[in-house]
Structure 1
Amino acid sequence: MVERARDETGRPRNSRPRDALGRPLPPGSAGVPRIPDDLALSPTEFLEYAQELLDAERAFHAHEVLEAAWKGRPAQERPLWQGLAQLAVGITHIQRGNPAGASVLLRRGAERLREAGDPVPYRVDTAGLIAWATGLADSLGAPGGISADRLRPALTRRGHGESDWPA
């Protein structure tokens, strides 16, 4: 049995190469570049990076960025970052052709964002994202499919002031 790669704290790390939709490839395959587990970014930089990846139709990679934020930010922010990461995984499931999995993750992400409370930090548009995720989950399986534009949600509101949460 092959031992799984682990970080310095003993947590398992998946070092297998992945395709553009984040699916594991056989060991030794080229794959696409991975997002490092230890990103050291500000909350705004995490959001901007994740948005760039979503806009480029790389939802799995956006999920990895948002997961790094949830693991590296204070516990009080965990519902926010987990919710955002779950929305990105929901999009990933749509891209992979798994509407049932997408619906579960979109609804779970929306629920986590509801737990983020007020004020919402970093101009994250939780109300808009909750409505988007719920509407998208409700429309899965409808005739005509989902357009790629619907898979690029705006994570933040433009032009609104920052909350009192720490940067």
Structure 2
Amino acid sequence: MKRDRDEDGRARNSRPRDALGRPLPLGSVGVERIPEDLDLTPAQSLAWAQDLLDRGLAFNAHEVLEGAWKSCPAGERKLWQGLAQLAVGITHIQRGNTKGALSLLERAAERIGYHDTPAPHGIDATDLVSYAEELIVELRRGADPAPDQLAPRLVGPTSPTSDR
């Protein structure tokens, strides 16, 4: 199988994707892709990821948060990794994959909770850990969270990066 490669020879996936991040056949029209070489400030990453979560595009929010994780200082990596895992855990809920969602939400809560309080950039780590733990409880009891329950607030209301 021939892989798509960029000008530096790195593997790229140019297949279109649906709103839940699933690959579509070549030539299909999918949702807009998140660039793989994002270079955003933490505030920009959080704002864009929040907008995507609010629109039900958790997979794309995961891509934005993964970009921040790959470029953040070493002391913040677990936190950003946890945020990306939270978003992909939500993606698994949207796809109906409870087992995958539980696994990722558990890892997300552990990584987000690992960071000292207060977390940097106005990230509301305490509430996000509680959110993930509540989702885990709901999923284990067989609940199917409504779409409006799948858009956690990434930053606290008093944060300068928050417009809420």
Confirm or deny a common fold (TM above 0.5).
yes
Give CA-to-partner distance per residue, 1:119-162, whole Å, 9 cap, x none: 41011011110011011011115355212221010001121479
User: How much has 1:41 moved relative to structure 2?
Assistant: 1.4
User: How much has 1:9 moved relative to structure 2?
Assistant: 5.5
Alignment-derived partner of residue 44 in structure 2: 45
User: How much has 1:21 moved relative to structure 2?
Assistant: 0.7
Amino acid at match of 1:137: I
Mapped partners of 1:155, 1:48: distance in 2: 9
Judged with a 3 Å threshold, the aligned counterparts in structure 2 of structure 1 residues 124 and 26 are, in CA distance, closer, same or farther, namely same
Judged with a 3 Å threshold, the aligned counterparts in structure 2 of structure 1 residues 9 and 100 are, in CA distance, closer, same or farther, namely same
| TM-score, normalising length: structure 1 | 0.88
Alignment-derived partner of residue 21 in structure 1: 20
1:126 aligns with 2:117: no
| TM-score, normalising length: structure 2 | 0.90
Structure 1: tracts of 5 or more residues without a match? 163-167
User: How much has 1:115 moved relative to structure 2?
Assistant: 2.2
Alignment-derived partner of residue 165 in structure 1: none
Judged with a 3 Å threshold, the aligned counterparts in structure 2 of structure 1 residues 146 and 73 are, in CA distance, closer, same or farther, namely same
Mapped partners of 1:39, 1:161: distance in 2: 22
Q: Secondary structure at the match of 2:109?
A: helix
Amino acid at match of 1:70: W
Amino acid at match of 1:96: R
Give CA-to-partner distance per residue, 1:38-64, whole Å, 9 cap, x none: 222110110000000000000000000
The alignment of Structure 1 onto Structure 2 pairs a total of residues equal to 161
Structure 2: tracts of 5 or more residues without a match? none
Amino acid at match of 1:138: V
Alignment-derived partner of residue 77 in structure 1: 76
RMSD: 1.8
Mapped partners of 1:135, 1:19: distance in 2: 28
Q: Report the identity percentage.
A: 57
